[in-house]
Amino acid sequence: MKIPISKPVISEDEINAVRQVLSSGYLAYGTKAREFEKMFARYIGVEYAISIVNGTAALHTALLALGIGAGDEVITTPFSFVASSNAILYVGAKPVFVDIDPETYNIDPEKILEKINNRTKAILVVHLYGQPCEMRAIKEIAEDHGLFLVEDASQAHGAEYRGLKVGSIGDVATFSFYATKNMTTGEGGMITTNNEEVSKRIRLIINHGQSNKYTHVSLGYNYRLTDIQASIGIQQLKKLDRLNEIRIRNAGFYNERLSKLSNVKTPYAPSYVKHVYHQYVIQVHERDDLREFLEDNGIQTAIHYPLPIYKQPLYRELGYDIYLEHAEEASKHVLSIPVHPLLTEEDLNKVVNKIYEYYEEG
C-alpha cells in the first residue's frame, strides 16, 4: 500500500459530532458554528474569530473588510498557492510580488521595503508549509508605512512566532480547513482579528450584507460555514496540538536522518518559531528523478509549488514579466514528502531508507 502524502485524522469523535447535528435538524450556521468561533478565538488569542466557507473566501473577505480595492497595491509572496494573490485580484487590487528568503521559503522582509509606494495599502504574508514568517520585521514595516498586515495562516494552524500564535499578530488573519490541512472541516475557514469594526464588516460581508433579517445595508456574499462543518472543526481543534506534536516529531526524525545526505537540503526553522510542518519539504537537484523513484516504491510525494505565481498563465496574461531568483530556484527543487500524524515508524523508516537508496544507486 502506498504511503500517502497527506491523510486527515478522523475518528468517532467527528462522526458522532456530525451525527448529533444531523439529528438536531438544524444544519446551517448556528450554535455549533458560534461555539467553534469562540473556541478558535481563545486558541489563537484574539478577540474575534469568524467562520467561513473556505480559506480563499476568508482572504477575499479580509481584504474587502479592510477597504482594499481598485487602484490599491498589496505586497505579497510569489511562492504560495495561487489563492493568496488571486484574492487580491478579486477586490480589484494589484498583487506586487517580492522574493522569498531561500532558507524559510517565506517572504523576505528586506525586499518588501523596495516595493512600497503611495499605492501600497497592505502586506499579505503566507506562513508557508507551517513556518511562521519573520513577523517582527514585517510588522514594523507595516506600522512605519501605515499599511495593513494580513496573515494567510492557511498552512499554519498552531504555529507560533516568538510565543504568539500566528493569526494573532497582523490586523487580520485567515485560515483554511481544507481536507489536507493540520486540522480540517472538509472545506471551511476562519478569519481572526482584534479589531471590532473589522469583525463587524466581515460578518456583514459573509451574510449578504445583512444587518437584520432581510435588511441588506451593503453588498455581501453567502460565505457562511455550516454547523455540520463546525462540529467537525470543534473536534479537530481539540486534538490539533497533539497532532501537531506528532508532525514535529516526524519532522525531527527526518531532519536527523536526511541532513546527513549532502544531496538533500532539509527545512530550516529559527529557534524562536514553532514550525508545525503542514508540509515537510526537502530541496534536491534531482527532484523529478527522485520523485519518480519514490512513487515507484510506494511513497507519494508532491511539489508545493512548481511555478512562482507570476509565471502562471493567468498572471502572464495580466502582464507580469518578472524574475525573482529565490522563488524560481525553490520552484525547481522543492519536494514534499509525507509527514502527517498517521505515519507509522515503519513508514518513516521506509521514506528515509528509500531516499538513501536512491542516492546510493545514483
Average pLDDT of the residues in 246-266:
98
Q: Do 73 and 111 share a domain, yes or no?
A: yes
Q: Do 126 and 93 share a domain, yes or no?
A: yes
Q: Do 93 and 179 share a domain, yes or no?
A: yes
User: Tens of pLDDT along 304-334?
Assistant: 999 999 999 999 999 999 999 999 999 999 9
- Structural domain of 345: 240-361
Does residue 7 register a pLDDT over 80?
A: yes
pLDDT for 1 equals: 87
Q: How confident is the model at residue 155 (pLDDT cuts 50, 70, 90)?
A: very high
Count of domains forming the chain: 2
Percent of the chain with pLDDT over 70: 99
Q: Do 182 and 212 share a domain, yes or no?
A: yes
- Of 234, 259, 289, which closes a domain? 234
Q: What is the CATH number of the domain that holds 111?
A: 3.40.640.10
Average pLDDT of the residues in 182-189:
98
Average pLDDT of the residues in 235-244:
98
- Of 182, 200, 234, which closes a domain? 234
Q: Do 335 and 191 share a domain, yes or no?
A: no
Q: Do 171 and 291 share a domain, yes or no?
A: no
User: Considering the domain boundaries, does residue 45 fall inside one?
Assistant: yes
Average pLDDT of the residues in 164-171:
98
pLDDT for 28 equals: 96
Does residue 362 register a pLDDT over 90?
A: no
HEC states along the chain? Answer: CCECCCCCCCCHHHHHHHHHHHHHCCCCCCHHHHHHHHHHHHHHCCCEEEEECCHHHHHHHHHHHCCCCCCCEEEECCCCCCHHHHHHHHCCCEEEECCECCCCCCECHHHHHHCCCCCEEEEEEECHHHCCCCHHHHHHHHHHCCCEEEEECCCCCCCEECCEECCCCCCEEEEECECCCCCCCECCEEEEECCHHHHHHHHHHHECCEEECCEECCCCCECCCCHHHHHHHHHHHHHHHHHHHHHHHHHHHHHHHHCCCCCCECCCCCCCEECCCCCEEEECCCHHHHHHHHHHCCECCECCCCCCHHHCHHHHHCCCCCCCHHHHHHHHHEEEECCCCCCCHHHHHHHHHHHHHHHHHC
Does residue 267 register a pLDDT over 90?
A: yes
Q: Do 168 and 256 share a domain, yes or no?
A: no
Q: Do 308 and 334 share a domain, yes or no?
A: yes
pLDDT for 326 equals: 98
- Of 182, 216, 234, which closes a domain? 234
Q: What is the mean pLDDT of the chain?
A: 98
Does residue 361 register a pLDDT over 90?
A: no
